[in-house]
Amino acid sequence: MNDITQLSNLYDATQGIELALPDELSRIYGSLRFPIQAGKPYVISNFVQSIDGVVTLDIPGHESGGDISGFNTHDRIVIGLLRAAADVVLISAGSLRVNPQNTWTAGAIYPEFIQSYNELRTQLKKPPKPPHVVVTASGKLDLSLPLFNSPDIPVLVLTTRVGEKYLAPQNSLQKIKIVGLKSEGSLRSTEIMEAVKNEFDPSLVLTEAGPHLTSFFIDDNCLDELFLTVAPQVAGRDGLLNRWSFTHGKIFAPDNPRWGELISIKQAGSHLFLRYSF
- Which of 31, 8, 35 is closest to 20 using CA atoms? 31
pLDDT value of position 228:
99
3-class DSSP state of 269:
coil
- DSSP type of residue 217: H
pLDDT confidence of residue 239: 87
Asked if pLDDT for residue 1 goes beyond 60, the answer is: no
* pLDDT of 73 over the 80 cut: yes
The whole-number pLDDT of residue 226 equals 99
Average pLDDT value for the chain: 96
Residue ranges and CATH numbers for the domains of the chain are 10-234+241-277 (3.40.430.10)
Do 171 and 9 touch, CB atoms closer than 8 A? Answer: no
Q: Where are the alpha helices (DSSP H) in 50-160?
A: 65-69, 73-85, 93-98, 106-109, 114-123
Tell me the C-alpha distance between 242 and 59, whole Å.
9
Instruction: Using the predicted structure, report yes or no on whether residue 173 has a pLDDT greater than 80.
Output: no
The pLDDT-based confidence of 36 (bands split at 50, 70, 90) is confident
Residue 6 banded pLDDT, cuts 50, 70, 90: very high
Radius of gyration of the chain, Cα coordinates, nearest whole angstrom: 18
Q: How confident is the model at residue 140 (pLDDT cuts 50, 70, 90)?
A: very high
Mean pLDDT, to the nearest integer, of 4-28?
97
Provide the CB-side half-sphere exposure for 194 (13 A, CA).
10
- Rounded mean pLDDT of 108-113? 98
pLDDT digits (tens, 9 = 90+) for 219-247: 999 999 999 999 999 999 998 899 999 99
Q: What is the mean pLDDT of residues 118-137?
A: 97
Whether 54 has a pLDDT exceeding 90, the answer reads yes
Instruction: List Cβ<8 Å contacts ≥24 apart for 15-20.
Output: 15/263, 19/85, 19/120, 19/124, 20/123
Is the per-residue pLDDT at 10 higher than 80? Answer: yes
pLDDT number for residue 2 = 60
> Whole-structure pTM over 0.85, yes or no?
yes
Q: What φ, ψ does residue 273 adopt, rounded to 5°? A: -120, 105
**Mean per-residue pLDDT for 249-254?**
95
